[in-house]
Amino acid sequence: MNTKFNSVINQDQPVLVDFYADWCGPCKTMSPILQEAKSILKEEVKIIKINVDQYQDLASEFSVRGVPTLILFKQGKMLWRQSGVVDTNDLVKIIRQHVN
């Protein structure tokens, strides 16, 4: 998974990674927000979800202590990161701010 993950976050296209867990209430709240953000941003950003229970190695590599944790990457560099729920408008604004 790590090689695949690294090849995804090392692209020119910005990648927003949502570290989540199935049992996490706020993570369930984030799902429709991410879908809405994706429908606004379209090809400006790629959004992927990483289940911290399935990929504990990735969660620990990025020191994910709480879920949801969102991390924005471009060409392998971490541009922004935040734990907790972020509303759609803020998320779109943050992503555009970092990638334009």
Say if residues 71 and 24 touch (Cβ distance below 8 Å): no
Q: Return the amino acid letter for 31.
A: S
Concatenate the DSSP letters of all residues of 10-22 into one string.
Answer: TSSS-EEEEEE-T
Concatenate the DSSP letters of all residues of 22-64 into one string.
Answer: TT-HHHHHHHHHHHHHHHHHGGG-EEEEEETTT-HHHHHHTT-
**Residues identified as active-site:** 24, 27
